[in-house]
């Protein structure tokens, strides 16, 4: 991957387009596999509740049995697992310990199954910059991707539709600060890959022109990036003159100010997706506006009203045998709605929209806006470990401080690397100081924010 990315970054544009199209062809093959999987699980969308409860219980039993037999951390619970048939999986589950990223990071090997076969190692940031690695077996990874794709199918996708996407695809190297065309187009899968990293008034104008020419049926992206793009477009002569079916977002919650500018500029229905890099649970917003859990990937305590909700939410995988996360606190507070029904007709359990903290953008002197997800990207694409917490603070137009809660040795090891990667994401317009600290301020909600921009009013 590292080598591929390096090759990609030094390649001229036509070659990059070729890569994108090859990647697109590969995606078409994967899409066929996703759709086969989705046909298999389609009956679960409208299954009656008793059968859903049974189905999930069978999955929980299998995961718990597998964990006590193959995962060192769960070996001491073998006796408890012996009661699964007599006491039922929900009750046994409730007696297993709750774990979170910190607990697992203390002894990550103890959470890996023996004989786990080929895995995808998914790296997530935990929003505070602390890296966390999850080993996901191939089937769970494929299912996770398929469920993300299902959201687009629910939104009425047809094979001839174009989709523009504005997420973390590093499609234009950061060495190219002001590309005329901050995108790549993949013909086989009819995708427009837009660069999240290069958003400024000029690139936004160019993107607006491209969107009007290509007329995508969907625009998907991070809420922060979509919000930035739309706030720039608002000041141009950009007008919606085609039928944009939906704006699709994921990876972050959408905040009111983002939703407002997106609706104003793009004027389409907005649909969200809640998912996680850990591939434990996911939920997609249906045409009635409600979030339905996928149910087949993982179990959220409280989803059926059998076990109570806990906060932060505890989730258990139903599929990932490589590193079975059990009662894993994913870091978000998720409200369950076990007794409500949805007018869309799907019986999949519902949750309230997931609310997490709001992160600021970084604004450079030339007027670029770097979204929180782009900053996180710069962070987690370094091989960084042993950092307890991190925070990025923009003090004024030209200065950003990166606070690292880490010991002296770790700090010295990563300081220069982080300074370089952060400057690069800010296109060398901002001075970056990486500072060691033992204390990172926590907000009233009990969470520390990752990015604080003191330039903006209200901070
Ligand atoms: Zn629904």
135 and 151 fall within a common domain: no
Render pLDDT for 391-423 as a digit per residue (tens, 0 to 9): 899 999 999 999 888 889 989 988 998 899 889
What is the CA(333)–ligand 1 centre distance, in A?
21
What is the CA(110)–ligand 1 centre distance, in A?
39
What is the CA(269)–ligand 1 centre distance, in A?
15
What is the CA(151)–ligand 1 centre distance, in A?
11
121 and 158 fall within a common domain: no
Q: From 367, 369, 419, 414, select the one nearest 392 (Cα to Cα).
A: 419
Render pLDDT for 359-382 as a digit per residue (tens, 0 to 9): 788 999 999 999 887 887 777 666
152 and 137 fall within a common domain: no
Give the CATH number for residue 189.
3.40.50
165 and 298 fall within a common domain: no
92 and 163 fall within a common domain: no
305 and 159 fall within a common domain: no
Which of 351, 377, 393 terminates a domain? The answer is 351
34 and 49 fall within a common domain: no
What is the CA(353)–ligand 1 centre distance, in A?
13
Note the pTM of the prediction, 2 decimals: 0.84
What is the CA(138)–ligand 1 centre distance, in A?
29
65 and 208 fall within a common domain: no
**Which pLDDT belongs to residue 458?**
41
142 backbone φψ class: left, alpha, beta (φ>0; ψ -120 to 50): alpha
337 and 446 fall within a common domain: no
Give the CATH number for residue 396.
3.30.300.30
Whether 222 is covered by a domain: the verdict is yes
Structural domain of residue 426, as residue ranges? 362-453
What is the CA(387)–ligand 1 centre distance, in A?
41
What is the CA(67)–ligand 1 centre distance, in A?
33
What is the CA(273)–ligand 1 centre distance, in A?
13
Whether 431 is covered by a domain: the verdict is yes
Render pLDDT for 168-215 as a digit per residue (tens, 0 to 9): 888 898 888 899 999 999 998 899 999 999 999 999 999 999 999 999
| CB contact at 8 A, 206 and 200 | no
What is the CA(450)–ligand 1 centre distance, in A?
33
Q: Residue 254: what are its φ and ψ, rounded to 5°?
A: -100, 125
What is d(CA 348, CA 193) in angstroms, rounded to the nearest whole number?
32
Whether 287 is covered by a domain: the verdict is no
Render pLDDT for 120-148 as a digit per residue (tens, 0 to 9): 998 776 555 567 889 999 999 999 999 99
228 and 370 fall within a common domain: no
Q: Domain total for the chain?
A: 3
What is the CA(271)–ligand 1 centre distance, in A?
12
What is the CA(341)–ligand 1 centre distance, in A?
8
Whether 183 is covered by a domain: the verdict is yes
Dig out the tokens for 263 from the structure: 């609706």
Q: Distance between the two ends of the chain, CA-based, in angstroms?
A: 39
What is the CA(280)–ligand 1 centre distance, in A?
21
What is the CA(154)–ligand 1 centre distance, in A?
10
Render pLDDT for 287-302 as a digit per residue (tens, 0 to 9): 999 999 999 999 999 9
Whether 319 is covered by a domain: the verdict is yes
What is the CA(406)–ligand 1 centre distance, in A?
45
What is the CA(51)–ligand 1 centre distance, in A?
19
Whether 282 is covered by a domain: the verdict is no
What is the CA(139)–ligand 1 centre distance, in A?
26
Which residue matches tokens 């996360």?
325
64 and 112 fall within a common domain: yes
| CB contact at 8 A, 447 and 332 | no
Whether 240 is covered by a domain: the verdict is yes
């Amino acid at each position: 991957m590292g080598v591929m990315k390096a090759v990609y970054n030094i390649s001229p544009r036509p070659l990059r387009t070729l890569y994108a199209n090859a990647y697109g062809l590969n995606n078409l093959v994967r899409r066929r596999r996703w759709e086969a999987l989705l046909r298999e699980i389609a009956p679960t969308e409208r299954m009656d509740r008793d059968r859903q409860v049974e189905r999930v219980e069978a999955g929980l039993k299998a995961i718990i049995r597998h964990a006590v037999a193959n995962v060192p951390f769960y070996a001491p619970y073998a006796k408890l697992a012996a009661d699964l048939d007599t006491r039922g999986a929900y009750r046994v589950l409730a007696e297993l310990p709750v774990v979170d990223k910190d607990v697992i990071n203390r002894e990550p090997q103890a959470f890996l199954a023996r004989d786990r076969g080929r895995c995808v190692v998914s790296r997530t940031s935990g929003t505070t910059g602390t890296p966390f690695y999850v080993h996901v077996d191939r089937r769970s990874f494929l299912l996770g991707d398929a469920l993300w794709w299902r959201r687009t199918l629910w939104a009425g996708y047809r094979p001839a539709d174009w989709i523009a996407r504005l997420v973390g695809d590093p499609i234009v190297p950061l060495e190219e600060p002001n590309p005329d065309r901050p995108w790549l187009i993949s013909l086989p899968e009819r995708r427009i890959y837009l660069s999240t990293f290069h958003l400024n008034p000029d690139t936004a104008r160019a993107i607006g022109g491209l969107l009007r020419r290509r007329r995508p049926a969907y625009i998907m992206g991070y809420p922060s990036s979509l919000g930035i793009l739309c706030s720039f477009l608002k000041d141009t002569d950009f007008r919606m003159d085609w039928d944009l079916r939906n704006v699709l977002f994921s990876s972050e919650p959408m905040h009111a100010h983002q939703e407002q500018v997106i609706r104003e500029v793009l004027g389409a229905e907005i649909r969200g997706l809640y998912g996680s890099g850990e591939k434990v649970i996911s939920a997609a917003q249906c045409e009635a506006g409600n979030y339905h859990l996928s149910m087949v990937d993982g179990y959220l305590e409280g989803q059926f009203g059998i076990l109570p909700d806990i906060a932060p939410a505890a989730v258990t995988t139903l599929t990932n045998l490589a590193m079975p996360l059990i009662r894993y606190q994913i870091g978000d507070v998720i409200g369950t709605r076990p007794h409500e029904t949805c007018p869309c007709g799907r019986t999949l359990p519902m949750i309230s929209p997931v609310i997490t903290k709001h992160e600021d953008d970084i604004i450079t002197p030339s007027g670029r806006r770097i979204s929180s997800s782009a900053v996180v990207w710069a962070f987690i694409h370094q091989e960084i470990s042993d950092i307890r917490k991190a925070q990025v603070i923009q003090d004024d137009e030209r200065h950003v401080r990166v606070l690292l809660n880490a010991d002296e040795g770790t700090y010295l090891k990563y300081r220069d690397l982080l300074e370089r990667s952060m400057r690069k994401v800010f296109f060398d317009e901002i001075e970056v100081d990486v500072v060691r600290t033992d204390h990172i301020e926590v907000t009233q909600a009990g969470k520390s924010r990752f990015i604080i921009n003191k330039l903006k009013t209200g901070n």
